[in-house]
Structure 1
Amino acid sequence: MSSFLKDILRVAFSNGIIIFFGLGSSIITARYLGPEKNGIIAALLIYPGLFMSVGSLGIRQSTTYFLGKNIYSEEEIKTSISQIWMFTTIVSLIICFVLMRVFSNSGDNLLWVLLALAPLPFSLFNTYNSGIFLGKNDIKTFNKINWIPSLLSFVGLFVFVISLSFDVSGALIASIAGPLFISILLLFKNKFVQSFSLKYNWTIIKAMLSLGIVYAIALFVISLNYSIDIIILDKLSTSFELGIYSKGAGVSQYLWQIPAILSTIVFARSAVSKNDYQFSIKVAQLLRLSFILVSLLAVILMFVSPLLIVGMYGEDFYESIRVLQVLLPGVIILTIYKVMNMDLAGKGKPWISMKAMIPALIINVVFNFLLIPKYGATGASIASTVSYSIAGFLFLFFYSKETEIPIKEILAYKRTDFDPILNLIQKFKK
């Protein structure tokens, strides 16, 4: 477990940076723009963010799988993903533009729509190519791709929102800098620029798309479950309620950085694992540890949420406290999915997640339509908690069935579960 723990610590450091600058960015937009304008930003960014799951076509995951299993060479994969990216960028921008103009209440402002779309090509390129580093278990480089954009976005907010007072436009401009910088870095430093070619290897492209589309559909359903409340709030409620919800939900989702730390490593290791059953036993151990940690932090967050929300965002966001508190039980239960899904995805079985997420999504939509008109942001948070809980329990059942590990064994704590942590503490003492 030593190399596993080292990778976890690397990702933990990276995610810590992301949380720090993410919270900093959230505080700036809250303090300088207020609930209504934060709601406008959330409504504008939800479609490009959601479409990333479709436009990415699961290429990062299929890249990790094929490279990790040594099915195709790195150069062949680089060329293929560069060619796929050129096509999907055009299609993604067109479809997303239409969706934003037609369905978003903020889509009437053409400048805002274009600014919200601008990071999409670069984010797609970065997502495609990050699979190269996961496939090679190069966690260090993968981390940089993740945390550098959050730093640059934070700096951009200082420049465009605080210094230049560009308001909503400034916040949207700030979101462009990070993805653009990483794309340029990948093109030249990692020699992706040499991979562009008009000579197509249709065998590799077809293989990557065949597996990748399954990942993409699964990721789309998952992302839609996280995003549908914002979409429905945008249509049935006000920008103020949307702003209140986005801040409360944003804080609750920082708890998922703990399973996110584990899931990145799990996916990369699962893709190259020689013994699937034993690896799944390790993943179950990681679930038990992360579940304790997430639950403890959620309880603390429940009690300090009034001081935290008002302290960071101001009195205008007082109603976000209830949103955060209502979401916490669902966030805890969905930790089951967050940790264990990457094991099956790394084994090339992403469709298993849809068995849990599709019923949860349907319930989420129904509850949102029932509760948002009367309860606004609080109604959306209730719908999400119910949906997350159902998704977590259903996925536990399907994971147990797929890996042939009984649910009782997955959930039962053992004294040896804590050995990696104790060993790590002893190393630090030495």
Structure 2
Amino acid sequence: MKSKFKKNIMSTLGFNVLVMLVLFFQGVFTAKTLGAEGKGELAYIINVLNIIFLICGFGVRQTTSFLLRNRPKLKNEIWSSHYCFLYFSIFLGLIIFWVFSFFKIDSYYWLGMVIPISIYTNFKTSVFLLDNNINGINVCKFIIAVIPFSIFATLFIFGFDVSVYYYLISYTFAHILNLIYVTYCTESNYYLFKVSDNLRAKNTVFLKAFIKHCFLFGMPLVLFTFNFKLDYFFVEYLLGPSSLGIYSVSTSLAELTWAIPTVLSFVIFSEGLSKKGSQAFKIEIEKKAKLLSLVLVPAFILYSFILWKAIPLIYGNEFTLSVIPSIFLLPGALCIIIFNILHGEASSRGRSGDCILPLIFGLILNTIFNMIFIPYLGVIGASVSSSLSYFFSFMIYYRRYRKE
């Protein structure tokens, strides 16, 4: 079991190093080809779509795998509830997209087809978590990250006048390809056309219990993402798309630092399910999180010095203003990394809801700080707001985690 855990970690690290590099080059390429305003528009649209996917997923994938692992005798009831959420989530996602289409994304109405595709694919990957198939999840992340950039860059090489429109076409194709891959890998365990049979097993009591678990697993993810993405809406509303393009470079560079360690939380969650609430596993993860933080502090200091020279050199002088916000985001990134690792272990013990109150507190703080700092400090104010909210959320959560 231990060797498989290490194998999953190494596999995840390998995949995500590659994904991280692709995302980095994608950020540089889109910044140079689209400019600050175009990059800001693209960041806003992708941000909206990701929030829709997150709200509509709402912890169903984790809940399904958690309950199937711990209550296998209720398999019919679990899948019945799962399918109920699938259809409701697709309907909800289309409604939210329709509302947003009246604002910034009316020119890209065809992106609505991505909503059901992504939600259905996300639900199907419950089978990956259940089988501890971390490679399957890694491949999904790889497809969504690599394919859009590959197609967009190819169009540029062949002389097309690349724009936000062409990138979003590539993004849509990546989701279709991901659907094909996941369907191929999970079809024997996940039958869409058996939904009607499963729904006959009516069990409202269990459905309520399923909803409760979805809330405990999903709410932390929603709150965490809202906290992370909230700045985008404030920056776009108060400063405009060009400033959002500059800030998106800062957040993407900060996100690179937590991309790999944070993805490990999925490995820890999957491994923790097999440990069934082992206290020894909790202690082991906490020790490794502390060790990781000691390694990351000097690494982040070095990274901040590199950013001073690297951003103007790589992205161009137009994005020089991204340097200081990137550095101010690093303390918050450290908090996010340790937070997610501990949360992955706690979720495997059914303690996912412990972080809800700390995250709500952080979200409220971030909202207040953004309204205060952004009008006076610009994009720097957004980065300061984020780091402060992450820090306070982490400190409150860690105090509670240690008492368990």
Cα distance change on mapping 1:118 and 1:301 into 2, 3 Å: farther
Across the aligned residues of Structure 1 and Structure 2, the Cα RMSD in angstroms comes to 2.2
Aligned counterpart, 1:127: 122
Q: Using the TM superposition, give the Cα deviation of residue 77 of structure 1 relative to its aligned residue in structure 2, in angstroms.
A: 5.3
Task: Report the counterpart of residue 170 of structure 1 in structure 2.
Answer: 166
Deviation at 1:31, TM superposition (A): 1.0
Aligned residues: 396
Unmatched tracts of structure 1, length 5 or more: 404-430
Q: Deviations over 1:135-163 (max 9, x none)?
A: 22112222212212212122122245554
Partner of 2:37: 36
> How far apart are residue 337 of structure 1 and its match?
0.8
Counterpart in the other structure of 1:425: none
Q: Which moved more, 1:18-27 or 1:197-206?
A: 197-206
Question: Could you list the per-position Cα deviations for residues 293-332 of structure 1 after superposition, in whole angstroms to 9, with x for gaps in the alignment?
Answer: 3323312210100232223322211111111111111211
In structure 2, the residue matched to 1:313 is 315
- CA distance 1:291–1:388, shift in 2 (3 Å): same
Indicate the residue corresponding to 2:16 in structure 1. Answer: 15
CA distance in 1: counterparts of 2:88 and 2:179, whole angstroms: 17
Residue-by-residue CA offset, 1:101-138 (whole Å, 9 max, x unaligned): 24xxx34xx223x2554433222222212222112211
Aligned to 1:328: 330
> Equivalent residue for 1:46?
47
Percent identical residues: 22
For residues 234 and 348 of structure 1, do their structure 2 counterparts lie closer, same or farther at Cα, with a shift above 3 Å needed? same
Deviation per CA, 1:361-405, whole angstroms, max 9, x where unpaired? 11100110111112221110111111111111111111112x2xx
Q: Does 1:219 align with 2:221?
A: yes
Contact 1:66 1:72 in 2 (8 A): no
Per the alignment, residue 355 of structure 1 pairs with: 357
Give CA-to-partner distance per residue, 1:3-35, whole Å, 9 cap, x none. Answer: 322211011011112112111221221110011
Where do 5+ consecutive residues of structure 2 fail to align? none
Specify which of 366, 375, 387 is matched with residue 373 of structure 1.
375
SS in 2 for 1:165: coil
Q: Which residue of 1 aligns with 2:137?
A: 142
Please tell me whether the aligned partners of residues 229 and 368 of structure 1 are also in contact (alpha carbons under 8 angstroms).
yes
Secondary structure of 1:348's partner?
coil
Q: For 2:215 and 2:150, how far apart are their aligned partners in 1?
A: 35
- Corresponding residue of 2:180: 184
Counterpart Cα distance in 2 of 1:4 and 1:277: 17
Tell me by how many angstroms 1:86 deviates.
2.9
Task: Give the Å deviation of 1:254.
Answer: 1.1
Assess if the C-alpha contact under 8 Å between 2:58 and 2:222 holds in 1. Answer: no
Aligned residue in 2 for 1:407: none
- Measure, in 2, the Cα distance between the counterparts of 1:334 and 1:266: 16
The 1-side partners of 2:219 and 2:293 are apart by: 27
Q: Is the 8 A contact 2:261 2:337 kept in 1?
A: yes
Distance 1:257 1:306 in 2: 21
Q: Which residue number in structure 2 is paired with residue 243 of structure 1? A: 245
The answer to whether the 8 Å contact 1:262/1:286 transfers is no
Is 1:64 the counterpart of 2:65? The answer is: yes
The amino acid that maps onto 1:229 is: D
CA distance in 1, matches of 2:118, 2:19: 16
TM-score by length of 2: 0.91
Code of the aligned partner of 2:296 = V
Q: Which range moved further: 305-314 or 36-45?
A: 305-314
Question: Normalising to structure 1: TM-score of the pair?
Answer: 0.86
Inter-CA distance 76–294: structure 2 relative to 1 (3 Å threshold):
farther
Change in Cα spacing, 1:186 to 1:364, as seen in structure 2 (3 Å) is same
**Cα distance, 1:349 vs structure 2:** 2.1
